[in-house]
Amino acid sequence: MNDTSPAGSALLQVDAPHRELLDQVLDKWSLQVLDVLCGKDLRFNELRRAIPAIGQKSLTASLRRLERNGMIERVVLQTRPVAVEYRIAPVGNTLNELVDALLRWTTENMPEVEQARERFDAVEG
Amino acid sequence: MNDTSPAGSALLQVDAPHRELLDQVLDKWSLQVLDVLCGKDLRFNELRRAIPAIGQKSLTASLRRLERNGMIERVVLQTRPVAVEYRIAPVGNTLNELVDALLRWTTENMPEVEQARERFDAVEG
DNA sequence: CGGTATCCCATGAGATACTG
DNA sequence: CAGTATCTCATGGGATACCG
C-alpha cells in the first residue's frame, strides 16, 4: 500500500455486512442487554427491572435482534403461565469481552478526554 | 457479588459519562473517519472523497466531536488559500485498535451469525 | 477550499393502551 | 407474564444554497 491508496478498512463502510452486524449488536440498548445477560439468565420483566431506563418496545426489539444474530437464546419454559428466559450464547460472550475492553479504554482515557473537552470549549466558548 | 445482585456494569447505562464518550466516538460516521485518518493525515475534501457516502454536514459534525474529545487534531496550514488538515491523536489510535478488534470479531464469527439468521428467519418466516 | 445555514424526511424510541 | 399495536415526538442525516 503506497501513500496514495485509499486508507481505511472497507469493512467499516456503512453498507458492508460486517459493519451492519456491528450496528445491530452494538446499538444503544443491546450493549446493555448483552451486558446484564452475561451475569445471569433473566426473564423479560427481570430485564426491564435490571435496565430501568429501557421501554418494553425497545427491549423487545433489542432481544429479537440479538437473538436473530445468535448473540442470545430465547428459552420458553413450559410452566403455567409460560415463562421466557433469555440467556447469553457463547458468541455473545466473546462480544461482551470486547465491549469490556472498550469500557476499560474509556476509564483509562477519561482524564485526557476531559482535558481535551475543556481546551475545546474554552476556544469556541 | 451474589446471584441476586443486579448484573451489568453501571458504566454502560445510557446516562453514564463513560457510555456517553463511547456514543460520541463510535457513532455511525466517526468510526470511519477515525479509521481513514489512522492511515494518513487528510484535508477536509480528501476525507469526503475517502468516505464518499458521507455528507458535508455529517463530516463536519463528526470531525468536531472527535476533535472535542481529543481523538483527532485540526491543523490550520498557513497557506494561500488556507488549508486545514486533520490528523489522528495518540489516544485516537488506541481507540482504533479496539475497533480493529471488533472488526476481526465480526470476520471470525460471521459464518455463525449467518447460520443463526437463517434459523431465525426460517421459524418466524 | 472549508465550511455554515436551512429545509425536509426517515428512523429510533418514549408513552400508553390492549391481549393471550 | 410477555409481549403487540398505535401515536407521537426528538434526533440524525440527506439535499441544497450560500459564504469568507
pLDDT digits (tens, 9 = 90+) for A21-41: 999 999 999 999 999 999 999
The full set of domains in chain A, from first to last, is 15-124 (1.10.10.10)
3-class secondary-structure state, position A79? coil
Categorize the per-residue pLDDT at A20 as very low, low, confident or very high, splitting at 50, 70 and 90. Answer: very high
Which member of B18, B42, B95 has the closest CB to residue A103?
B18
Give the pTM: 0.93
Residue type, B101: A
Record: contact A9-B35, CB cut-off 8 A:
yes
CB of A67 closer than 8 Å to CB of A73: yes
> Region A6-26: what's the mean pLDDT?
93
CB pairs under 8 A between A and B: 144
pLDDT digits (tens, 9 = 90+) for B69-121: 999 999 999 988 899 999 999 999 999 999 999 999 999 999 999 999 999 99
Q: What backbone phi and psi angles, to 5 degrees, belong to B74?
A: -105, 120
**Chain A stretch 12-31, residues whose beta carbon is closer than 8 A to a beta carbon of chain B:** 12-15, 17-18, 21-23, 26, 28, 31
